[in-house]
Amino acid sequence: MNRQVELLQPPQRIISLVPSQTELLFDLGLGEKVVGITKFCVHPKAQVKGIAKVGGTKDFKPEVIEQLKPDLIIGNKEENDQVLIEALEQRYPVWMSDIYTLQDALRMISGIGQVTGAAEKAEALVQDLQQKFAALVPAFPPIPAAYFIWRKPYMAVGGHNFIDDMLQCCGFDNVFKQIPRYPELTIDAIQAANPRLILLSSEPYPFQEKHLAEFQAMCPEAQIKIVDGEMFSWYGSRLALTVPYLHQLVKEVSQL
Protein backbone atom coordinates (compact mmCIF):
# COMPACT_ATOMS: atom_id res chain seq x y z
CA MET A 1 0.00 0.00 0.00
CA ASN A 2 3.10 2.23 -0.17
CA ARG A 3 2.75 3.34 3.43
CA GLN A 4 5.22 3.39 6.27
CA VAL A 5 4.47 3.03 9.98
CA GLU A 6 7.09 4.12 12.48
CA LEU A 7 7.11 3.23 16.18
CA LEU A 8 9.67 4.42 18.71
CA GLN A 9 9.19 1.28 20.81
CA PRO A 10 7.18 -1.97 20.72
CA PRO A 11 3.46 -1.16 21.13
CA GLN A 12 1.85 -1.72 24.53
CA ARG A 13 -1.76 -0.76 23.70
CA ILE A 14 -3.00 -2.32 20.47
CA ILE A 15 -6.42 -2.01 18.85
CA SER A 16 -7.32 -4.55 16.15
CA LEU A 17 -10.06 -3.74 13.65
CA VAL A 18 -9.95 -7.14 11.90
CA PRO A 19 -11.21 -10.41 13.44
CA SER A 20 -8.63 -12.74 11.90
CA GLN A 21 -5.79 -10.40 12.84
CA THR A 22 -7.12 -10.12 16.40
CA GLU A 23 -6.83 -13.88 16.78
CA LEU A 24 -3.32 -13.70 15.34
CA LEU A 25 -2.23 -11.20 17.99
CA PHE A 26 -3.26 -13.61 20.73
CA ASP A 27 -1.52 -16.53 19.05
CA LEU A 28 1.65 -14.45 18.86
CA GLY A 29 1.50 -14.01 22.63
CA LEU A 30 0.33 -10.39 22.50
CA GLY A 31 -3.08 -10.82 24.12
CA GLU A 32 -2.27 -8.71 27.18
CA LYS A 33 -1.45 -5.77 24.92
CA VAL A 34 -4.76 -5.86 23.02
CA VAL A 35 -6.99 -3.14 24.51
CA GLY A 36 -9.67 -2.82 21.80
CA ILE A 37 -11.33 -5.02 19.18
CA THR A 38 -14.47 -5.05 16.99
CA LYS A 39 -17.72 -6.78 17.85
CA PHE A 40 -16.90 -9.35 15.16
CA CYS A 41 -13.63 -10.38 16.83
CA VAL A 42 -14.88 -13.66 18.32
CA HIS A 43 -11.65 -15.67 18.58
CA PRO A 44 -10.09 -16.70 20.88
CA LYS A 45 -13.50 -16.83 22.56
CA ALA A 46 -12.49 -16.85 26.20
CA GLN A 47 -9.86 -14.12 25.91
CA VAL A 48 -11.81 -11.58 23.84
CA LYS A 49 -14.87 -11.47 26.10
CA GLY A 50 -13.56 -8.82 28.45
CA ILE A 51 -11.87 -6.58 25.88
CA ALA A 52 -13.40 -3.22 24.94
CA LYS A 53 -15.41 -3.23 21.71
CA VAL A 54 -14.91 -0.25 19.40
CA GLY A 55 -17.82 -1.05 17.06
CA GLY A 56 -17.85 -2.97 13.78
CA THR A 57 -15.15 -3.34 11.15
CA LYS A 58 -16.68 -0.57 9.00
CA ASP A 59 -18.38 1.57 11.63
CA PHE A 60 -15.97 1.67 14.55
CA LYS A 61 -16.32 4.56 16.96
CA PRO A 62 -13.41 7.06 17.04
CA GLU A 63 -14.45 8.36 20.47
CA VAL A 64 -14.12 4.88 21.99
CA ILE A 65 -10.74 4.44 20.31
CA GLU A 66 -9.60 7.77 21.75
CA GLN A 67 -10.51 6.66 25.28
CA LEU A 68 -8.38 3.52 24.86
CA LYS A 69 -5.25 5.53 23.98
CA PRO A 70 -3.75 3.06 21.51
CA ASP A 71 -0.13 3.24 20.43
CA LEU A 72 -0.87 0.97 17.44
CA ILE A 73 -4.02 0.24 15.41
CA ILE A 74 -4.13 -2.73 13.04
CA GLY A 75 -6.58 -2.79 10.13
CA ASN A 76 -7.22 -4.16 6.64
CA LYS A 77 -7.88 -2.31 3.40
CA GLU A 78 -10.91 -4.33 2.35
CA GLU A 79 -12.53 -4.89 5.75
CA ASN A 80 -12.28 -1.36 7.14
CA ASP A 81 -13.82 1.94 6.04
CA GLN A 82 -11.32 4.13 4.18
CA VAL A 83 -12.57 7.49 5.51
CA LEU A 84 -12.49 6.32 9.12
CA ILE A 85 -9.04 4.76 8.70
CA GLU A 86 -7.63 7.94 7.15
CA ALA A 87 -8.99 9.92 10.09
CA LEU A 88 -7.33 7.55 12.55
CA GLU A 89 -4.03 7.88 10.69
CA GLN A 90 -3.95 11.56 11.58
CA ARG A 91 -3.70 10.68 15.28
CA TYR A 92 -2.25 7.19 15.66
CA PRO A 93 0.14 4.72 14.00
CA VAL A 94 -2.16 2.59 11.81
CA TRP A 95 -0.73 -0.60 10.28
CA MET A 96 -2.79 -1.88 7.33
CA SER A 97 -2.84 -5.20 5.51
CA ASP A 98 -4.04 -5.76 1.95
CA ILE A 99 -4.66 -9.44 1.29
CA TYR A 100 -5.62 -11.29 -1.88
CA THR A 101 -3.60 -14.51 -1.67
CA LEU A 102 -2.08 -16.96 0.79
CA GLN A 103 1.31 -15.33 0.18
CA ASP A 104 -0.19 -11.95 1.11
CA ALA A 105 -1.48 -13.51 4.34
CA LEU A 106 1.93 -14.92 5.20
CA ARG A 107 3.52 -11.53 4.57
CA MET A 108 0.88 -9.96 6.83
CA ILE A 109 1.76 -12.38 9.64
CA SER A 110 5.44 -11.55 9.27
CA GLY A 111 4.69 -7.83 9.16
CA ILE A 112 2.58 -7.86 12.30
CA GLY A 113 5.30 -9.86 14.02
CA GLN A 114 7.86 -7.24 13.09
CA VAL A 115 5.82 -4.20 14.13
CA THR A 116 4.76 -5.71 17.46
CA GLY A 117 8.10 -7.18 18.53
CA ALA A 118 6.94 -10.78 17.98
CA ALA A 119 8.95 -11.49 14.83
CA GLU A 120 10.37 -14.83 15.99
CA LYS A 121 6.95 -16.34 16.78
CA ALA A 122 5.51 -14.92 13.57
CA GLU A 123 8.24 -16.48 11.42
CA ALA A 124 7.76 -19.84 13.13
CA LEU A 125 4.03 -19.64 12.33
CA VAL A 126 4.74 -18.69 8.71
CA GLN A 127 7.06 -21.65 8.25
CA ASP A 128 4.51 -24.02 9.79
CA LEU A 129 1.75 -22.71 7.49
CA GLN A 130 3.99 -22.99 4.42
CA GLN A 131 4.64 -26.65 5.23
CA LYS A 132 0.97 -27.37 5.85
CA PHE A 133 -0.22 -25.79 2.59
CA ALA A 134 2.56 -27.47 0.61
CA ALA A 135 1.11 -30.80 1.74
CA LEU A 136 -2.44 -29.94 0.60
CA VAL A 137 -3.22 -31.99 -2.51
CA PRO A 138 -5.78 -30.25 -4.75
CA ALA A 139 -8.56 -32.02 -6.57
CA PHE A 140 -7.60 -33.21 -10.05
CA PRO A 141 -8.91 -32.59 -12.56
CA PRO A 142 -10.03 -29.19 -11.20
CA ILE A 143 -13.71 -29.03 -10.27
CA PRO A 144 -15.78 -26.09 -11.64
CA ALA A 145 -17.11 -24.50 -8.48
CA ALA A 146 -19.11 -21.56 -7.12
CA TYR A 147 -18.80 -20.19 -3.58
CA PHE A 148 -21.81 -18.24 -2.31
CA ILE A 149 -21.65 -15.66 0.48
CA TRP A 150 -25.16 -14.13 0.30
CA ARG A 151 -28.79 -14.79 -0.54
CA LYS A 152 -31.45 -12.31 -1.71
CA PRO A 153 -29.65 -11.24 -3.79
CA TYR A 154 -27.41 -14.17 -4.60
CA MET A 155 -23.78 -13.13 -4.23
CA ALA A 156 -20.79 -15.30 -5.01
CA VAL A 157 -17.05 -14.95 -4.74
CA GLY A 158 -15.48 -13.55 -7.89
CA GLY A 159 -11.80 -13.33 -8.74
CA HIS A 160 -8.82 -11.58 -7.15
CA ASN A 161 -9.61 -12.12 -3.47
CA PHE A 162 -8.49 -14.40 -0.65
CA ILE A 163 -11.40 -16.85 -0.85
CA ASP A 164 -10.77 -17.34 -4.56
CA ASP A 165 -7.14 -18.16 -3.75
CA MET A 166 -8.26 -20.74 -1.17
CA LEU A 167 -10.53 -22.30 -3.79
CA GLN A 168 -7.55 -22.59 -6.12
CA CYS A 169 -5.54 -24.29 -3.37
CA CYS A 170 -8.29 -26.93 -3.23
CA GLY A 171 -8.37 -27.46 -6.98
CA PHE A 172 -11.79 -25.81 -7.21
CA ASP A 173 -12.00 -23.76 -10.42
CA ASN A 174 -14.10 -20.70 -9.58
CA VAL A 175 -16.66 -20.32 -12.38
CA PHE A 176 -17.03 -16.62 -11.54
CA LYS A 177 -13.32 -15.80 -11.33
CA GLN A 178 -13.53 -13.50 -14.36
CA ILE A 179 -15.84 -11.17 -12.40
CA PRO A 180 -14.07 -9.01 -9.80
CA ARG A 181 -14.85 -9.07 -6.09
CA TYR A 182 -18.28 -10.39 -5.07
CA PRO A 183 -20.81 -10.26 -7.92
CA GLU A 184 -24.59 -10.28 -7.57
CA LEU A 185 -25.99 -13.05 -9.74
CA THR A 186 -29.32 -13.98 -11.29
CA ILE A 187 -30.54 -17.57 -11.39
CA ASP A 188 -29.94 -17.55 -15.16
CA ALA A 189 -26.31 -16.49 -14.65
CA ILE A 190 -25.76 -19.21 -12.07
CA GLN A 191 -27.24 -21.87 -14.32
CA ALA A 192 -25.23 -20.63 -17.32
CA ALA A 193 -21.98 -20.90 -15.33
CA ASN A 194 -22.86 -24.57 -14.67
CA PRO A 195 -20.82 -25.19 -11.51
CA ARG A 196 -20.29 -28.85 -10.66
CA LEU A 197 -19.69 -27.93 -7.02
CA ILE A 198 -21.58 -25.29 -5.03
CA LEU A 199 -20.23 -24.23 -1.66
CA LEU A 200 -22.55 -22.29 0.66
CA SER A 201 -20.60 -20.35 3.28
CA SER A 202 -21.61 -20.10 6.93
CA GLU A 203 -20.67 -16.40 6.83
CA PRO A 204 -21.44 -13.59 6.24
CA TYR A 205 -24.84 -15.07 5.27
CA PRO A 206 -25.59 -18.02 7.58
CA PHE A 207 -26.36 -20.66 4.97
CA GLN A 208 -27.86 -23.81 6.47
CA GLU A 209 -29.04 -27.25 5.38
CA LYS A 210 -32.48 -25.83 4.58
CA HIS A 211 -30.95 -23.88 1.68
CA LEU A 212 -29.54 -26.94 -0.10
CA ALA A 213 -32.76 -27.74 -1.98
CA GLU A 214 -32.97 -24.16 -3.28
CA PHE A 215 -29.58 -24.45 -4.99
CA GLN A 216 -30.15 -28.05 -6.04
CA ALA A 217 -33.24 -26.92 -7.94
CA MET A 218 -31.10 -24.35 -9.77
CA CYS A 219 -28.27 -26.75 -10.58
CA PRO A 220 -29.60 -30.33 -10.37
CA GLU A 221 -26.29 -31.92 -11.36
CA ALA A 222 -24.12 -30.02 -8.88
CA GLN A 223 -22.73 -31.23 -5.57
CA ILE A 224 -23.80 -28.79 -2.86
CA LYS A 225 -22.14 -28.43 0.54
CA ILE A 226 -22.33 -26.08 3.51
CA VAL A 227 -18.82 -24.96 4.44
CA ASP A 228 -17.24 -23.13 7.37
CA GLY A 229 -16.65 -19.60 6.11
CA GLU A 230 -13.84 -19.00 8.60
CA MET A 231 -11.81 -21.75 6.94
CA PHE A 232 -11.92 -19.88 3.63
CA SER A 233 -11.78 -16.24 4.69
CA TRP A 234 -9.81 -15.91 7.95
CA TYR A 235 -6.24 -15.18 6.89
CA GLY A 236 -4.47 -15.11 10.25
CA SER A 237 -3.33 -17.91 12.54
CA ARG A 238 -6.64 -19.74 11.94
CA LEU A 239 -4.98 -20.91 8.71
CA ALA A 240 -3.36 -23.63 10.83
CA LEU A 241 -6.85 -25.16 11.12
CA THR A 242 -7.72 -24.45 7.50
CA VAL A 243 -5.46 -27.03 5.86
CA PRO A 244 -6.88 -30.15 7.57
CA TYR A 245 -10.39 -28.79 6.95
CA LEU A 246 -9.70 -28.23 3.24
CA HIS A 247 -7.98 -31.62 2.95
CA GLN A 248 -11.09 -33.33 4.27
CA LEU A 249 -13.35 -31.24 2.02
CA VAL A 250 -11.35 -32.12 -1.10
CA LYS A 251 -11.46 -35.79 -0.09
CA GLU A 252 -15.24 -35.73 0.39
CA VAL A 253 -15.93 -33.91 -2.86
CA SER A 254 -13.60 -36.11 -4.89
CA GLN A 255 -15.34 -39.26 -3.66
CA LEU A 256 -18.78 -38.16 -4.82
List, in order of start, the domains of the chain with CATH numbers: 14-128 (3.40.50.1980), 143-255 (3.40.50.1980)
Whether the Cβ atoms of residue 26 and residue 47 lie closer than 8 Å to each other: yes
Give the mean pLDDT of 233-246. Answer: 96
Give the mean pLDDT of 134-152. Answer: 96
Q: What is the pLDDT of residues 157-184, one digit of tens each?
A: 999 999 999 999 999 999 999 999 999 9
DSSP secondary structure letter of residue 18: S
pTM score: 0.93
Q: Is 61 a residue whose pLDDT tops 90?
A: yes
| Measured distance CA(19)–CA(57) in Å, rounded | 8
Q: What is the pLDDT of residues 96-117, one digit of tens each?
A: 999 999 999 999 999 999 999 9
Please choose, from the candidates 6, 2, 21, 3, the residue with its C-alpha nearest in 3D space to the C-alpha of residue 238.
Answer: 21
Whether the Cβ atoms of residue 114 and residue 135 lie closer than 8 Å to each other: no
Q: Which residues contact 28 (CB under 8 A, 6 or more apart)?
A: 112, 113, 116, 118, 121, 122, 125, 237
| Measured distance CA(49)–CA(29) in Å, rounded | 17
